[in-house]
Structure 1
Amino acid sequence: MTTHQRFRKFNTKEAYPEQSLDNDVCMAVRAGNTVYLRGQTAMDLDGKIVGIGDAAAQAENAMACAKVLLEEAGSRLAHITKIVIYITDRAYREPVYRVVGRWLKGVYPVSTGLIVQGLAKPEYLMEIDIIAEIPQD
Protein backbone atom coordinates (compact mmCIF):
# COMPACT_ATOMS: atom_id res chain seq x y z
CA MET A 1 0.00 0.00 0.00
CA THR A 2 1.40 3.38 -1.02
CA THR A 3 1.66 5.83 1.86
CA HIS A 4 2.09 8.86 -0.35
CA GLN A 5 1.32 10.27 -3.79
CA ARG A 6 3.82 11.83 -6.17
CA PHE A 7 2.79 14.68 -8.48
CA ARG A 8 4.48 15.80 -11.71
CA LYS A 9 7.27 13.25 -11.86
CA PHE A 10 10.32 14.15 -13.92
CA ASN A 11 13.97 13.33 -14.36
CA THR A 12 16.69 15.87 -13.62
CA LYS A 13 18.38 15.22 -16.98
CA GLU A 14 15.31 16.87 -18.57
CA ALA A 15 15.26 19.89 -16.25
CA TYR A 16 19.04 20.33 -16.15
CA PRO A 17 20.37 19.08 -19.52
CA GLU A 18 23.58 21.09 -19.04
CA GLN A 19 24.40 18.98 -15.97
CA SER A 20 25.26 15.30 -15.89
CA LEU A 21 22.30 14.18 -13.76
CA ASP A 22 19.83 11.31 -13.95
CA ASN A 23 17.62 11.48 -10.85
CA ASP A 24 13.92 10.60 -10.71
CA VAL A 25 12.12 13.22 -8.63
CA CYS A 26 8.79 15.00 -8.58
CA MET A 27 7.43 18.46 -7.93
CA ALA A 28 5.15 17.54 -5.02
CA VAL A 29 4.60 14.68 -2.60
CA ARG A 30 1.52 14.21 -0.44
CA ALA A 31 2.11 11.95 2.56
CA GLY A 32 -1.11 11.66 4.53
CA ASN A 33 -2.21 15.26 5.03
CA THR A 34 1.26 16.74 4.57
CA VAL A 35 2.35 18.18 1.23
CA TYR A 36 6.01 18.77 0.41
CA LEU A 37 6.97 20.85 -2.61
CA ARG A 38 10.29 20.81 -4.38
CA GLY A 39 12.06 24.13 -4.23
CA GLN A 40 10.20 26.66 -6.38
CA THR A 41 12.37 29.02 -8.42
CA ALA A 42 12.41 30.99 -11.65
CA MET A 43 11.58 27.78 -13.55
CA ASP A 44 7.90 27.67 -14.47
CA LEU A 45 5.88 24.46 -14.62
CA ASP A 46 6.74 24.06 -18.32
CA GLY A 47 10.49 24.17 -17.61
CA LYS A 48 11.09 27.73 -18.85
CA ILE A 49 13.12 30.20 -16.80
CA VAL A 50 11.31 33.48 -16.14
CA GLY A 51 12.40 36.71 -14.47
CA ILE A 52 16.10 36.54 -15.33
CA GLY A 53 17.84 39.21 -13.26
CA ASP A 54 14.63 40.06 -11.34
CA ALA A 55 14.31 38.42 -7.91
CA ALA A 56 10.75 39.70 -7.39
CA ALA A 57 9.59 38.26 -10.73
CA GLN A 58 11.21 34.94 -9.82
CA ALA A 59 9.42 34.96 -6.45
CA GLU A 60 6.13 35.72 -8.22
CA ASN A 61 6.67 32.71 -10.51
CA ALA A 62 7.69 30.50 -7.58
CA MET A 63 4.54 31.35 -5.64
CA ALA A 64 2.26 30.94 -8.67
CA CYS A 65 3.78 27.49 -9.27
CA ALA A 66 3.45 26.61 -5.58
CA LYS A 67 -0.26 27.48 -5.67
CA VAL A 68 -0.85 25.17 -8.65
CA LEU A 69 1.18 22.31 -7.15
CA LEU A 70 -0.51 22.56 -3.77
CA GLU A 71 -3.93 22.51 -5.40
CA GLU A 72 -3.00 19.49 -7.51
CA ALA A 73 -2.05 17.70 -4.27
CA GLY A 74 -5.37 18.66 -2.62
CA SER A 75 -3.99 21.56 -0.59
CA ARG A 76 -4.00 25.36 -0.68
CA LEU A 77 -1.66 28.24 0.09
CA ALA A 78 -3.61 28.71 3.34
CA HIS A 79 -2.36 25.28 4.47
CA ILE A 80 1.32 26.24 4.32
CA THR A 81 3.03 25.65 7.66
CA LYS A 82 6.71 26.19 6.85
CA ILE A 83 8.74 28.02 4.25
CA VAL A 84 12.47 28.29 3.71
CA ILE A 85 13.57 31.08 1.39
CA TYR A 86 17.02 30.98 -0.20
CA ILE A 87 18.41 34.12 -1.85
CA THR A 88 21.77 34.59 -3.53
CA ASP A 89 22.21 38.21 -2.42
CA ARG A 90 21.03 40.10 0.66
CA ALA A 91 19.69 42.83 -1.66
CA TYR A 92 17.02 40.37 -2.88
CA ARG A 93 15.54 39.89 0.61
CA GLU A 94 13.06 42.76 0.52
CA PRO A 95 11.72 42.25 -3.02
CA VAL A 96 11.39 38.48 -2.53
CA TYR A 97 9.82 38.72 0.93
CA ARG A 98 7.36 41.37 -0.28
CA VAL A 99 6.10 39.03 -3.00
CA VAL A 100 5.95 35.98 -0.72
CA GLY A 101 4.28 38.07 1.99
CA ARG A 102 1.57 39.19 -0.42
CA TRP A 103 0.82 35.59 -1.46
CA LEU A 104 0.79 34.39 2.16
CA LYS A 105 -1.00 37.31 3.83
CA GLY A 106 -2.84 35.96 6.88
CA VAL A 107 -1.30 32.47 6.64
CA TYR A 108 1.47 32.88 9.28
CA PRO A 109 3.82 29.98 8.40
CA VAL A 110 7.10 29.55 10.22
CA SER A 111 9.87 30.92 8.04
CA THR A 112 13.60 30.58 7.64
CA GLY A 113 15.65 32.77 5.32
CA LEU A 114 19.11 31.92 4.07
CA ILE A 115 21.64 33.73 1.91
CA VAL A 116 23.45 31.18 -0.21
CA GLN A 117 26.36 31.29 -2.61
CA GLY A 118 24.38 29.80 -5.48
CA LEU A 119 21.43 27.67 -6.55
CA ALA A 120 20.94 24.87 -9.10
CA LYS A 121 21.12 27.21 -12.11
CA PRO A 122 23.12 30.45 -12.25
CA GLU A 123 19.97 32.33 -13.36
CA TYR A 124 18.17 31.49 -10.11
CA LEU A 125 18.27 34.37 -7.62
CA MET A 126 15.88 32.79 -5.14
CA GLU A 127 14.23 29.52 -4.20
CA ILE A 128 11.42 28.72 -1.79
CA ASP A 129 10.89 25.39 -0.06
CA ILE A 130 7.32 24.79 1.13
CA ILE A 131 5.56 22.35 3.46
CA ALA A 132 1.77 22.39 3.92
CA GLU A 133 -0.51 20.49 6.28
CA ILE A 134 -4.06 19.87 5.05
CA PRO A 135 -6.53 20.26 7.93
CA GLN A 136 -8.60 17.21 8.87
CA ASP A 137 -12.12 18.59 8.53
Structure 2
Amino acid sequence: MSHLRIRKFNTRDAYPEQQLDNDVCMAVRAGNTVYLRGQTAMDLDGKIVGIGDAAAQTENAMKCAKILLEEAGATLQDIVKITIYITDRAYREAVYRVVGKWLKGVFPVSTGIIVQGLAKPEYLMEIDIIAEIPADRG
Protein backbone atom coordinates (compact mmCIF):
# COMPACT_ATOMS: atom_id res chain seq x y z
CA MET A 1 0.00 0.00 0.00
CA SER A 2 1.41 3.36 -0.99
CA HIS A 3 -1.38 5.80 -0.10
CA LEU A 4 -4.81 4.92 1.22
CA ARG A 5 -7.25 7.81 0.90
CA ILE A 6 -10.11 7.61 3.40
CA ARG A 7 -13.49 9.36 3.09
CA LYS A 8 -12.91 11.23 -0.14
CA PHE A 9 -15.05 14.30 -0.78
CA ASN A 10 -15.16 17.53 -2.70
CA THR A 11 -14.97 20.90 -0.95
CA ARG A 12 -18.04 22.12 -2.86
CA ASP A 13 -20.07 19.71 -0.68
CA ALA A 14 -18.49 20.72 2.65
CA TYR A 15 -18.45 24.44 1.88
CA PRO A 16 -21.39 25.11 -0.47
CA GLU A 17 -21.31 28.82 0.39
CA GLN A 18 -17.82 29.05 -1.14
CA GLN A 19 -16.98 28.62 -4.83
CA LEU A 20 -14.61 25.66 -4.36
CA ASP A 21 -14.03 22.46 -6.31
CA ASN A 22 -11.18 20.58 -4.62
CA ASP A 23 -10.96 16.78 -4.34
CA VAL A 24 -9.65 15.96 -0.88
CA CYS A 25 -10.15 13.34 1.81
CA MET A 26 -10.45 13.17 5.57
CA ALA A 27 -7.43 10.93 6.13
CA VAL A 28 -4.45 9.61 4.20
CA ARG A 29 -2.38 6.64 5.22
CA ALA A 30 1.04 6.69 3.59
CA GLY A 31 2.92 3.59 4.69
CA ASN A 32 2.53 3.59 8.48
CA THR A 33 1.96 7.34 8.76
CA VAL A 34 -1.58 8.70 9.03
CA TYR A 35 -2.41 12.32 8.26
CA LEU A 36 -5.82 13.68 9.25
CA ARG A 37 -7.63 16.59 7.74
CA GLY A 38 -7.95 19.37 10.32
CA GLN A 39 -10.72 18.37 12.72
CA THR A 40 -13.18 21.07 13.74
CA ALA A 41 -16.78 21.59 14.82
CA MET A 42 -17.89 19.77 11.64
CA ASP A 43 -18.87 16.19 12.37
CA LEU A 44 -18.32 13.34 9.92
CA ASP A 45 -21.77 13.93 8.41
CA GLY A 46 -21.04 17.58 7.67
CA LYS A 47 -23.06 19.07 10.53
CA ILE A 48 -21.60 21.81 12.75
CA VAL A 49 -21.50 20.89 16.44
CA GLY A 50 -21.08 23.21 19.44
CA ILE A 51 -21.62 26.64 17.94
CA GLY A 52 -20.11 29.15 20.38
CA ASP A 53 -18.65 26.40 22.60
CA ALA A 54 -14.94 25.69 22.12
CA ALA A 55 -14.98 22.66 24.44
CA ALA A 56 -17.91 21.05 22.59
CA GLN A 57 -16.20 21.68 19.25
CA THR A 58 -13.03 20.06 20.57
CA GLU A 59 -14.98 17.02 21.83
CA ASN A 60 -16.40 16.64 18.34
CA ALA A 61 -12.99 17.09 16.71
CA MET A 62 -11.39 14.44 18.93
CA LYS A 63 -14.29 12.00 18.47
CA CYS A 64 -13.96 12.37 14.69
CA ALA A 65 -10.18 12.02 14.89
CA LYS A 66 -10.52 8.75 16.81
CA ILE A 67 -12.91 7.35 14.19
CA LEU A 68 -10.73 8.42 11.26
CA LEU A 69 -7.57 7.04 12.86
CA GLU A 70 -9.28 3.71 13.44
CA GLU A 71 -10.47 3.62 9.82
CA ALA A 72 -6.81 4.06 8.82
CA GLY A 73 -5.65 1.26 11.14
CA ALA A 74 -4.32 3.58 13.87
CA THR A 75 -5.38 4.57 17.39
CA LEU A 76 -5.17 7.72 19.48
CA GLN A 77 -2.10 6.13 21.11
CA ASP A 78 -0.33 6.35 17.73
CA ILE A 79 -0.55 10.16 17.55
CA VAL A 80 2.90 11.75 17.35
CA LYS A 81 2.14 15.38 16.44
CA ILE A 82 -0.75 17.76 16.99
CA THR A 83 -1.20 21.35 15.96
CA ILE A 84 -4.05 23.21 17.63
CA TYR A 85 -5.47 26.37 16.10
CA ILE A 86 -7.77 28.60 18.17
CA THR A 87 -9.42 31.84 17.14
CA ASP A 88 -9.13 33.47 20.58
CA ARG A 89 -6.63 32.98 23.41
CA ALA A 90 -9.65 32.77 25.77
CA TYR A 91 -10.50 29.34 24.26
CA ARG A 92 -7.08 27.84 25.03
CA GLU A 93 -7.87 26.36 28.43
CA ALA A 94 -11.18 24.78 27.35
CA VAL A 95 -9.67 23.32 24.17
CA TYR A 96 -6.52 22.00 25.82
CA ARG A 97 -8.49 20.41 28.67
CA VAL A 98 -10.52 18.38 26.18
CA VAL A 99 -7.49 17.41 24.09
CA GLY A 100 -5.63 16.49 27.27
CA LYS A 101 -8.46 14.19 28.34
CA TRP A 102 -8.47 12.37 24.98
CA LEU A 103 -4.66 12.11 24.78
CA LYS A 104 -3.85 11.32 28.42
CA GLY A 105 -0.67 9.20 28.44
CA VAL A 106 0.01 9.65 24.69
CA PHE A 107 2.63 12.46 24.90
CA PRO A 108 2.59 13.80 21.31
CA VAL A 109 4.57 16.89 20.37
CA SER A 110 2.24 19.87 20.24
CA THR A 111 2.08 23.30 18.69
CA GLY A 112 -0.59 25.86 19.53
CA ILE A 113 -1.42 28.77 17.26
CA ILE A 114 -3.86 31.64 17.64
CA VAL A 115 -5.36 32.55 14.26
CA GLN A 116 -7.63 35.30 13.00
CA GLY A 117 -10.15 32.86 11.57
CA LEU A 118 -10.77 29.37 10.20
CA ALA A 119 -12.63 27.97 7.18
CA LYS A 120 -16.09 28.73 8.61
CA PRO A 121 -16.86 31.61 10.97
CA GLU A 122 -18.51 29.15 13.41
CA TYR A 123 -15.23 27.29 13.93
CA LEU A 124 -13.48 28.31 17.15
CA MET A 125 -10.76 25.66 16.95
CA GLU A 126 -9.13 23.15 14.64
CA ILE A 127 -6.71 20.34 15.38
CA ASP A 128 -4.28 18.86 12.88
CA ILE A 129 -3.07 15.33 13.70
CA ILE A 130 -0.29 13.04 12.47
CA ALA A 131 -0.02 9.47 13.71
CA GLU A 132 2.59 6.75 13.19
CA ILE A 133 1.45 3.14 13.35
CA PRO A 134 4.13 0.95 14.96
CA ALA A 135 5.84 -1.40 12.50
CA ASP A 136 4.73 -4.51 14.41
CA ARG A 137 1.09 -3.46 13.85
CA GLY A 138 1.46 -1.93 10.38
TM-score (norm 2): 0.98
Distance in 1 (CA, whole Å) between partners of 2:59 and 2:91 is 13
Distance in 2 (CA, whole Å) between partners of 1:4 and 1:115 is 31
Q: State the match for 2:98 in structure 1.
A: 99
Structure 2: unaligned runs, 5 residues or longer: none
Per-residue displacement from partner, 1:33-70 (whole Å, max 9, x unpaired)?
00000000000000000000000000000000000000
Q: State the match for 2:65 in structure 1.
A: 66
Name the amino acid aligned to 1:54.
D
Distance in 2 (CA, whole Å) between partners of 1:81 and 1:4 is 19
Q: Secondary structure at the match of 2:13?
A: helix
CA RMSD of aligned residues (A): 0.5
Q: State the match for 1:29 in structure 2.
A: 28
Per the TM alignment, residue 3 of structure 1 is displaced from its structure 2 partner at its CA by 1.4
Which runs of 4 or more aligned residues in structure 1 lie more than 6 Å from their structure 2 counterparts after TM superposition? none
TM-score (norm 1): 0.99
Per-residue displacement from partner, 1:55-95 (whole Å, max 9, x unpaired)?
00000000000000000000000000000000000000000
Q: Secondary structure at the match of 2:56?
A: helix
Q: State the match for 1:130 in structure 2.
A: 129
The aligned length equals: 136
Q: State the match for 1:43 in structure 2.
A: 42
Name the amino acid aligned to 1:96.
V
